[in-house]
Amino acid sequence: MSKHHLEESVGFSSKTRDYIQRASSTGLYEIRGIGAKRALPSFDDLVFLAGSASRYPLEGYREKCTTKTVLGTRFAKKPIVLDTPITIAGMSFGALSANVKESLGMAATNMGTSTTTGDGGMTPEERNSSKTLVYQCLPSRYGFNPDDVRKADAIELVIGQGAKPGGGGMLLGQKVNARVASMRTLPQGVDQRSACRHPDWTGPDDLAIKVAELRELTDWEKPIYIKIGATRVYHDVKLAVHAGADVIVVDGMQGGTAATQTVFIEHIGIPTLAALRQAVEALEDMDMIGTVQLIVSGGIRSGADVAKALAMGADAVAIGQGAMISLGCNNDTYIKDGAHHSAEADYAALDTKAGFCHHCHTGKCPTGVATQDPILEQRIEPKVGAKRVTNYLKTLTMELTTVARACGKSNVHHLEREDLVCLTLESAAMAKLPLAGTSWIPGVTEAK
Amino acid sequence: MESLDLEQMSVRDINQYLHNTLPETNVTELEIVNPTGEHNIAVGINTECSLDVRGHAGYYLGGMNKKANITVHGNAGNGVAENMMSGSVHVKGFASAAAGASGHGGTLVIDGDTGLRCGISMKGIDIVVGGSIGNFSGFMAQAGRMVICGDAGEGLADSLYEAVFYVKGTIKSLGADAQLESMTDADHKAVQELLDFAGFEHDPKEFKRVASAKQLYNWNADADQEY
């Protein structure tokens, strides 16, 4: 048979046919972990215009370049002061093991940055290991209590998540062991739905009163963050500012999840790049730049991503999946007793391979990251995990500062939009930055 | 009795007093006068005391309360006693939406009716309502008990987990996975105890029990519906 007889349909590719066959077999939508796998406009589509004749670069390795980051200066009596603008995003104990949460806390402390709780509440391991801990108040309120609010350094009121805006969350029963169940006041082994909306407020005016309640509870000491999943970002950021947020966290659609419907992960929300630009515009229009800080998350992987986010107007970034991969997610080995051990058989048991795994929802994580299994969770030793995440964050911070120096900045927060251009029309339109080699910003300026 | 006047002090001043000064004193009985519907009154108390709020309160009265016994001599706004951990809140009038939302413990008593979503996401709190409750009450309720001496609105106890509801009047409709169940002696005893606490006189035998059918407890990811 000649090759032209084997042309595959683009619309009904093997991937699409697999989806239809699976749906026909089960009558159920797919639930999985990790984030969007499709190609999206991203920070990869941006490049820096470093110093040359018209701009004066700093020496790349040694000249001072400040990374100090202060969050929560609007109303909180005790803003958070970090040594780097790279923070650890909210991820739940339940989705992740106690060892992993401890590792993240230790790494954040090593780097002088913050880490964040997740659905299910705060564990003592996480609190004790984290110098600066942000405590999430989520729609489910699983494990949420005033004692832990008082122990926290900041409160993050979560309205949505980039991987699943409007969708709430789910922790399937296989990950709900006795400890997780107890923290969430539910029976062991029962699926735990995280509601898609908060129980005690329903709109922006209510939200303002809710924020005020949290401020009263904390005697106006702790910064209040509001986290939104990226959809109508411009308006949502304005409403969050109106509600009294000190800090706004915008999570783009490349953000990860431990379990949600694939249709949410791939088809709801907007890319981080577009979300960040809209958020900055909203703050500019309200004259809130420098008053309300902006954290962006959702697919931040490298120091280059961090630098681009800061140049576009973010004050800090939050990293989730990157930290998980640093710990061993989707690696073909795990580290135990000072040696690497193959995890291939465990991937095979899930009918997947290292690099392709998105089975966080099963609780059978081959490298022990997203699990509550008593054997698998031992595959992350807190000190080893902390060392790896520390190294990762250190590398990102080094990359960030070297890019900033190349652009002539002695402070990473001095990176600016003028330092960036785009490689594609889509990214130029979304970021409202010029296409490289031109002064054309699609939708803003006319092509010349 | 220590008297705090919301015409003379701000909500901030009063909450600061309740959080920081009260534990250092021997004061065990307080009142707040002239509340005039202010929001966030007596949020986050963490001290044993008896507090009377003499008038109407706005949103989140007694929010995240721990240990205190609070009485509102009036109506309460949205989210009264939300996320309460222990102690009690007694509203002598009516309560708005989301009364007792996500409460972990303690007892909330409302003499009158409540609005929508009463006891939403409750996690161990007991709620006794002298009147009727609004639609979608008890949504995703995880633990605790609610006694409703009047009627229940649409979608009672939708997607609930382990919480139990006792209704004397009519139920407009049950939510997903909620079902009527037979009352046992233990249920009669529980209802009587909660009625006694609230100071209401009803016959526990006139109440119906609503609990979870537990059909939504586990997602069947391995379902094979091909044949």
Q: What is the pLDDT of residues B130-178, one digit of tens each?
A: 999 999 999 999 999 999 999 999 999 999 999 999 999 999 999 999 9
- Does A294 share its domain with A432? no
State the angle between helix axes of A303-312 and A272-285 in degrees (0 to 180), rounded to the nearest 10. Answer: 30
Helix axes A233-243, A204-217, angle to 10 degrees: 40
Q: How far apart are CA B70 and CA B68, in angstroms?
A: 6
Cα–Cα distance between B225 and B227 in angstroms, integer? 6
* Parent domain of A216: 43-406
pLDDT of residue A174: 87
Residues A162 and A204 grouped into a single domain: yes
A17, A136, B43 from A105: Cα distances, Å:
43, 15, 30
Is B43–A144 a contact, with Cβ atoms under 8 angstroms apart?
Answer: no
Q: Is B127's pLDDT higher than 80?
A: yes
The CA distance from A180 to A71, in Å, is 31
Sort out which chain A residues have CB atoms less than 8 A from B162's CB and list them: 186-187
Residue type, B30: L
| Reported ipTM | 0.96
Q: Clarify whether residues A227 and A294 are in a common domain.
A: yes
Spatial separation of the C-alpha atoms in residues A169 and A192, rounded to whole Å: 8
Burial label, B132 (beta-carbon count in 10 A; 0-12, 13-18, 19+): buried
CA angle (A185 as vertex; A179, A186 as ends), nearest 5 = 85
Indicate whether A380 belongs to any domain: yes
End-to-end CA distance of chain A: 50
Q: Quick one: pLDDT at residue A62?
A: 83
Token duo for residue A72: 């929560």
Between chains, do A31 and B11 touch, taking CB under 8 Å as contact? no
Query: Any residues with CB less than 8 A from the CB of B45 and at least 6 apart, and which?
Result: B18, B19, B22, B51, B62, B65, B66, B67, B68, B70, B87
Cα–Cα–Cα angle for A400, A136, A118, rounded to 5 degrees: 80
| H or E segment and range at residue A311 | helix A303-312
Domain count, chain A: 2
| A173, A185, A212 member nearest B40 (Cβ) | A212
Give the residue from B10, B21, B121 with the most A CB atoms within 10 Å of its CB, the best one to mutate: B121
| DSSP summary character for residue A434 | P
Measured CA to CA, the distance from residue A255 to residue A257 in angstroms comes to: 7
Say how far apart CA A270 and CA A285 lie, in whole Å: 21
Residues A207, A228 contacting (CB under 8 angstroms): no
Q: Could you tell me if A377 and A319 lie in one domain?
A: yes
SS (H, E, C) A358-396: CCHHHCCCCCCCCCCCCCHHHHCCHHHHHHHHHHHHHHH
Domain contains A98: yes
Q: Per the CB < 8 Å rule, is B219 touching A191?
A: yes
Cα distance between residue A177 and residue A374, in whole Å: 9
Residue A412: DSSP 8-state: G
Number of other residues whose CB lies within 10 A of the CB of residue A288: 18
Structural domain contains residue A346: yes
Q: Residue B123 and residue A185: Cβ atoms within 8 Å?
A: yes
Cβ contact (<8 Å) for A185 and B139? Answer: no
Q: Is B219 a member of any domain?
A: no
- What amino acid is encoded at B128 in this protein? V
Q: Is residue A331 part of a domain?
A: yes
- Cβ pair A365, A356 in contact under 8 A: no
Nearest in space to A177 (alpha carbons), one of A376, A38, A20, A435: A376
pTM: 0.96
Give, for all 448 residues of chain A, the pLDDT tens digit: 566 688 899 999 999 999 999 999 888 899 999 999 999 999 999 999 999 898 899 987 889 999 999 999 999 999 999 999 999 999 999 999 999 999 999 999 999 999 999 999 999 999 999 999 999 999 999 999 999 999 999 999 999 999 999 998 888 888 899 999 999 999 999 988 889 999 999 999 999 999 999 999 999 999 999 999 999 999 999 999 999 999 999 999 999 999 999 999 999 999 999 999 999 999 999 999 999 999 999 999 999 999 999 999 999 999 999 999 999 999 999 999 999 999 999 999 999 999 999 999 999 999 999 999 999 999 999 999 999 999 999 999 999 999 999 999 999 999 999 999 999 999 999 999 999 999 999 999 876 6
The answer, for A135 touching chain B at a CB cutoff of 8 Å, is: no
Q: Which residues contact B55 (CB under 8 A, 6 or more apart)?
A: B33, B34, B35, B36, B37, B73, B74
Of chain B, the percentage scoring pLDDT greater than 70 comes to 96
Interface of B with A in 151-210 (CB under 8 A): 159, 161-162
Q: Is residue B34 one of the residues assigned to a domain?
A: yes
Are residues A445 and A312 part of one domain?
no
Decide if A38 is inside a domain: no
Nearest beta carbon to residue B83 from set A144, A187, A212:
A144
What are the tokens at A379?
A: 């595959």
**Interface touch A146/B20, C-beta < 8 Å:** no
In this prediction, residue A2 carries a pLDDT of 63
Identify whether residues A367 and A425 lie together within a single domain: no
Nearest-Cα distance to chain B for A91, in Å, is 21
Provide the domain count of chain B. Answer: 1
Give the nearest partner residue to B16 out of A27, A206, A219, using CB atoms.
Answer: A219
Same domain, A307 and A432: no
Chain position carrying tokens 């950021």: A237
| pLDDT given for residue B222 in this prediction | 58
Could you tell me if A428 and A317 lie in one domain?
A: no
The separation between the first and the last C-alpha atoms of chain B, rounded to the nearest angstrom, is 73
In the 8-state DSSP scheme, what is residue A204? H
The answer to whether the Cβ–Cβ distance between B221 and A31 falls below 8 Å is yes
In a domain, B224, yes or no: no
Q: For residue A89, which of A331, A314, A324, A293 has the smallest C-alpha distance? A: A324
Give me the residue label for tokens 């100071």.
Answer: B199
Output the CA–CA distances (angstroms, integers) from residue A439 to A74, A418, B44, in the order listed. Answer: 36, 11, 55
pLDDT at B224 over 90: no
Q: Is some CB atom of chain B closer than 8 A to the CB atom of A193?
A: yes
CA separation for the pair A40, A279 (Å, rounded)? 19
How far does B98 lie from chain A, in Å, by closest CA?
5
| Domain assignment present for A19 | no
* pLDDT of the residue at A1: 59
Q: Are A188 and A181 in contact (CB under 8 A)?
A: yes
Query: Does residue A446 share a domain with residue A387?
Result: no
Chain A CB within 8 Å of residue B66 CB? yes
Whether A196 and chain B come into contact, CB under 8 Å, resolves to: no
Q: Which residues of B fall within a CB distance of 8 Å from A217?
A: 43-44, 63-64
The CATH number that applies at residue A71 is 3.20.20.70
**Does A219 contact chain B (CB < 8 Å)?**
yes
Which among B15, B19, B223 has CB closest to A26? B223
Residues A301 and A440 in one domain: no
> Cβ of A216 and B43 within 8 Å?
yes
Whole-number pLDDT of residue B227: 58
pLDDT of residue A172: 87
CA distance A429 to A243: 30
Asked if the model's pLDDT at residue B223 lies above 60, the reply is no
Taken as a whole, chain A contains a residue count of: 448
Residue type, A421: V
What pLDDT, on the 0 to 100 scale, is given for residue A80?
98
> In angstroms, rounded to a whole number, what is the distance separating the alpha carbons of residues B139 and B156?
7
In this predicted structure, what is the pLDDT of residue A7? Answer: 87
Task: Measure CB to CB from residue A141 to each of B39, B102, B161 and give the nearest one.
Answer: B102
Q: Which domain holds residue B14?
A: 2-212
Indicate the length of chain B as a whole number. Answer: 227
Helix runs in A186-259, H state only: 204-217, 233-243
CATH number of the domain within which B188 lies: 2.160.20.60
| Amino acid sitting at position B180 | L
Mark B91-102 as b/e (b = at least 16 C-beta within 10 Å): bbbbbbbbbbbb
> CB of B85 within 8 A of CB of B68?
no
Do β-strands A46-48 and A420-422 pair in parallel, antiparallel, or remain unpaired?
antiparallel
Contacts with B80 from chain A: Cβ below 8 Å: none
Q: Which of A145, A213, A219, A222 to mutate to test the interface with B (most CBs of B within 10 A)?
A: A213
Distance from C-alpha of A60 to C-alpha of A63, rounded to nearest angstrom: 7
Same domain, A192 and A261: yes
Considering the domain boundaries, does residue A223 fall inside one?
A: yes
CA of residue B149 relative to chain centroid, distance: 14
Q: Which residues pair with A276 in a beta bridge?
A: none
**Distant-in-sequence, close-in-space partners of B216: CB < 8 Å, separation ≥ 6:** A191, B159, B176, B177
Whether residues A332 and A434 fall in one domain: no
CA distance B102 to chain A (A): 7
Task: Look at residue A28 and tell me if it is in a domain.
Answer: no
